[in-house]
C-alpha cells in the first residue's frame, strides 16, 4: 500500500492545500501551543499558562443558563419542544427559519439601541463570522482583487478573506500617535499604492468595534469612510461582531445608522457581518450573519450560504432566545456592566505598574502598551518580550505583530474569558514581571545599596 512523499503530495493536492494561506504558521498560534501544553488550573495546575489570547465572552453564562432553564420550549429535545423535532430536523431551506431571521434582526436593532432597524429578509447565514466573511468576499471580489483593511487587524482575516478566495489584503496603516484612528490620508495612501501596483481594489473592510483595539469609530470617521468608498465606488464591509461589547461611552454607531440618513451613499456598496460568538458568547454555535443592502448580494449570498448554514437545532434555540425582549434588554445591559468592571479592574492594576492601554470602551480585550519594556522598538524585540511573557510569566497574550501592527510593543490582552480569581492571579503575575523588568534595567534596590556601601568602603 503506497504512500506519497511530500513533494508528491504537493502535486497531488491543490495549491490551496499546500500553501500557507491557512495562516497557522504565524507566531500568533505559538502562544496557544504553550497554553495547550501547560494550561492553568487553580488547583490542578496553578503554575500553568493563563490564556489571555482568546477573545471569548464568558461573563454572562449564569444569565443565559437561567433563561434556558425557564424556557424549555426553546429546545427541540425537551418535553415541551419535541413536537417540533421532526420539522426542525428536516428543514434545510437556506432562507433559514423565519423566526430565526426575525429574532436576529430584532436583536441587531436592540444592540444598536433601537437607533436603526434591520429587515429579516436581508439576513443571510454563514458558517460563523469566519464563513460569513469568506462568503461576502466570494460575492464581491475576484481572485487577485484586493480589500483595504486598517491595521492592526484580526489575524485570521488573512485566512478568512484570502485563503480560498484568492483575494488580497492591503493594510491601511494606523498609528498610535493619533490613537490608531483611520484617517482620510491613510485611506487615500493605501488606495494610491494599490493603483500604482495595478491592483484592483474592490472593497474596504473595517471592524467596528475594533479587534484588537477595542475602540469604536466616531461619526466623523464613519462619514469619511462612507464618503471615500462612494467616491471610489468600492464596497464597505463592516464587521460589527463586537457591537454589544461596548461597555461605556461613547455609544456605538453602526454603519446602518450612518447610511440611513445619507442620500448620497449607494446602499449597494454597504454590507454588515455579524455573529453571536462575541456578543452572546456562543462561538461553538456557528451563528454567522451577512446583512447586505445590495439585493443581488443577498440573493447570491443566500445561495452560497448552503455551504455553511446554521444548524436548525441552533436556529430554533436562538430564535426563541433573541425574541425574548425582556431577557435581551437585561442581558445587553448586564453584559456591558460586567465588561466595564473587568476593564476598570485591569486598567487599574496595570496603572499600578505604570503600564498603559489604549483608551477603549468595547471588545473583550485591552490593547496594552509595553513599548517601554522593549530593548529596541523592533519586531524581534517584541518577539523576545513575548517569549518571556509566555515562558516566565506564563501568560498567553497576543503580540501586536500578529495583528499586523506596525509599531512594536503593543499586546492584546483578553479579559472576558476567565473568572475573577484567575484574572487576579494573571494581573499579579504581570505586575511582578513588570517590576522585575524595571529592576533588571535599573538594578535592584539591594544591588544599588550594595554598590553604594562598597563605594563608601572604598572611600573611607
Q: How far is it, in rounded angstroms, from Cα 245 to Cα 253?
A: 13
List the beta bridge partners of residue 146: 168, 201
Whose grid coordinates read 504581570? 430
Copy the grid coordinates of residue 245: 461589547
**Element spanning 12, H or E:** helix 6-12
- Exactly one of 178, 195, 231, 306 binds another protein (CB under 8 A); that residue is 306
**Element spanning 456, H or E:** helix 445-459
- Which stretches within 239-288 are classed as H helix? 255-260
Copy the grid coordinates of residue 149: 483593511
Q: Give the shortest CB-154-to-another protein separation in angstroms.
A: 13
Q: Give the shortest CB-411-to-another protein separation in angstroms.
A: 22
CB-side exposure of 302: number of CA atoms within 13 Å? 19
- Exactly one of 33, 42, 46, 61 binds another protein (CB under 8 A); that residue is 61
Q: How far is it, in rounded angstroms, from Cα 46 to Cα 416?
A: 19
Q: Which of residues 371-430 bind another protein (CB under 8 A)?
A: none
Nearest CB to another protein, comparing residues 286 and 371: 286
Q: Which of residues 163-182 bind another protein (CB under 8 A)?
A: 163-164
Nearest CB to another protein, comparing residues 142 and 325: 142
- Exactly one of 38, 39, 56, 223 binds another protein (CB under 8 A); that residue is 56
Q: Give the shortest CB-266-to-another protein separation in angstroms.
A: 4
**Interface size with another protein, residues (CB under 8 A):** 91
Q: How far is it, in rounded angstroms, from Cα 42 to Cα 48?
A: 9
185-209 as b/e: b if 16+ CB within 10 A: ebbeebbeebeeeeeebbbbbbbbb
Our finding on whether 266 is near another protein (CB under 8 A) is yes
Q: Is 114 left (phi over 0), alpha (psi -120 to 50) or beta?
A: left
Q: Which of residues 198-237 bind another protein (CB under 8 A)?
A: 202, 233, 235
Q: 278, 318, 332, 355: which is the annotated catalytic residue?
A: 278
DSSP conformation class of 288:
E
- Exactly one of 45, 78, 354, 453 binds another protein (CB under 8 A); that residue is 78
Q: Give the shortest CB-353-to-another protein separation in angstroms.
A: 30
- Exactly one of 303, 375, 428, 432 binds another protein (CB under 8 A); that residue is 303
Reported residue count of the chain is 460
Q: Answer for the pair 416, 59: CB distance below 8 angstroms, yes or no.
A: yes
CA 99 to each of CA 135, 246, 328: distance values in angstroms, whole numbers, following the listed order: 23, 27, 16
Nearest CB to another protein, comparing residues 128 and 209: 128
Residues 6+ apart with CB under 8 A from 445: 439
Q: Is 181 a catalytic residue?
A: no
Our finding on whether 65 is near another protein (CB under 8 A) is yes
Q: Is 239 a catalytic residue?
A: yes
Our finding on whether 285 is near another protein (CB under 8 A) is yes
Q: Answer for the pair 172, 182: CB distance below 8 angstroms, yes or no.
A: yes
- Exactly one of 45, 195, 231, 299 binds another protein (CB under 8 A); that residue is 299
Is the bond into 305 cis (omega within 30 degrees of 0)?
Answer: no
Copy the grid coordinates of residue 399: 503580540
Q: Which of residues 5-44 bind another protein (CB under 8 A)?
A: 6, 9, 12-18, 22, 24
Q: Answer for the pair 291, 123: CB distance below 8 angstroms, yes or no.
A: yes
Q: Give the shortest CB-138-to-another protein separation in angstroms.
A: 5
Q: Which of residues 105-144 bind another protein (CB under 8 A)?
A: 121, 127-128, 130-131, 134, 138-143
Any idea of the CA torsion for 208, 212, 218, 223, to the nearest 10 degrees? -60
Q: Is 153 a catalytic residue?
A: no
- Exactly one of 216, 258, 290, 297 binds another protein (CB under 8 A); that residue is 297
- Exactly one of 122, 159, 232, 278 binds another protein (CB under 8 A); that residue is 159
Whose grid coordinates read 434588554? 329
DSSP conformation class of 360:
-
Our finding on whether 363 is near another protein (CB under 8 A) is no
Q: 40, 154, 293, 343: which is the annotated catalytic residue?
A: 154
Q: Give the shortest CB-448-to-another protein separation in angstroms.
A: 48
Our finding on whether 70 is near another protein (CB under 8 A) is no
Q: 225, 234, 241, 289: which is the annotated catalytic residue?
A: 241
Q: Give the shortest CB-156-to-another protein separation in angstroms.
A: 8
Q: Give the shortest CB-248-to-another protein separation in angstroms.
A: 25
Q: Which of residues 308-327 bind another protein (CB under 8 A)?
A: 308-314, 317
**Element spanning 436, H or E:** helix 420-442
Q: Is 160 a catalytic residue?
A: no
Catalytic positions: 154, 239, 241, 278
Amino acid at each position: 500500500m503506497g504512500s506519497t512523499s511530500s513533494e508528491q503530495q504537493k502535486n497531488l493536492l491543490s495549491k490551496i492545500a499546500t500553501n500557507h494561506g491557512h495562516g497557522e504558521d504565524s507566531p500568533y498560534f505559538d502562544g496557544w501551543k504553550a497554553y495547550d501544553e501547560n494550561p492553568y488550573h487553580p488547583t490542578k495546575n496553578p503554575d500553568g499558562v493563563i490564556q489571555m489570547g482568546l477573545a471569548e465572552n464568558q461573563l454572562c453564562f449564569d444569565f443565559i443558563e437561567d433563561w434556558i432553564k425557564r424556557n424549555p420550549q426553546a429546545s427541540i429535545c425537551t418535553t415541551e419542544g419535541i413536537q417540533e423535532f421532526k420539522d426542525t430536523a428536516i428543514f434545510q431551506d437556506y432562507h433559514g427559519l423565519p423566526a430565526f431571521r426575525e429574532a436576529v434582526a430584532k436583536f441587531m436593532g436592540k444592540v444598536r439601541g433601537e437607533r436603526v432597524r434591520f429587515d429579516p429578509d436581508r439576513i443571510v447565514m454563514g458558517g460563523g463570522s469566519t464563513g460569513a466573511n469568506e462568503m461576502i468576499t466570494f460575492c464581491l471580489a475576484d481572485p487577485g482583487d484586493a480589500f483595504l483593511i486598517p491595521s492592526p487587524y484580526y489575524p485570521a482575516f488573512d485566512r478568512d478573506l484570502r485563503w480560498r478566495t484568492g483575494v488580497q489584503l492591503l493594510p491601511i496603516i494606523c498609528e498610535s500617535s493619533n490613537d490608531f484612528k483611520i484617517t482620510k490620508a491613510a485611506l487615500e495612501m493605501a488606495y494610491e499604492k494599490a493603483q500604482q501596483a495595478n491592483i484592483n481594489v474592490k472593497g474596504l473592510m473595517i471592524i467596528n468595534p475594533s479587534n484588537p483595539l477595542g475602540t469604536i469609530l466616531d461619526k466623523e470617521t464613519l462619514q469619511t469612510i462612507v464618503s471615500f468608498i462612494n467616491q471610489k465606488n468600492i464596497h464597505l464591509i463592516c464587521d460589527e461582531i463586537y457591537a454589544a461589547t461596548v461597555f461605556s461611552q461613547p455609544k456605538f454607531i453602526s454603519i446602518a445608522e450612518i447610511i440611513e440618513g445619507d442620500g448620497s451613499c449607494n446602499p449597494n456598496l454597504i454590507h454588515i457581518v455579524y455573529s453571536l460568538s462575541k456578543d452572546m458568547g456562543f462561538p461553538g454555535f456557528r451563528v454567522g450573519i451577512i446583512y447586505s443592502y445590495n439585493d443581488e448580494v443577498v440573493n447570491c449570498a443566500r445561495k452560497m450560504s448552503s455551504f455553511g448554514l446554521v444548524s436548525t437545532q441552533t436556529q430554533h434555540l436562538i430564535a426563541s432566545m433573541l425574541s425574548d425582549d425582556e431577557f435581551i434588554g437585561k442581558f445587553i445591559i448586564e453584559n456591558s456592566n460586567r465588561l466595564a468592571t473587568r476593564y476598570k479592574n485591569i486598567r487599574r492594576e496595570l496603572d499600578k505598574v505604570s503600564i498603559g492601554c489604549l483608551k477603549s470602551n468595547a471588545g473583550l480585550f485591552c490593547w496594552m502598551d509595553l513599548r517601554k519594556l522593549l530593548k529596541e522598538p523592533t519586531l524581534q524585540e517584541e518577539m523576545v518580550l513575548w517569549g518571556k511573557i509566555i515562558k516566565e510569566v506564563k501568560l498567553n497574550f497576543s503580540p501586536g505583530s500578529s495583528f499586523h501592527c506596525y509599531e512594536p510593543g503593543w499586546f492584546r490582552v483578553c479579559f472576558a474569558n476567565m473568572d475573577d480569581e484567575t484574572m487576579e492571579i494573571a494581573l499579579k503575575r504581570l505586575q511582578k514581571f513588570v517590576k522585575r523588568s524595571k529592576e533588571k534595567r535599573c538594578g535592584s534596590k539591594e544591588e544599588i545599596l550594595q554598590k553604594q556601601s562598597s563605594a563608601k568602603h572604598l572611600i573611607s
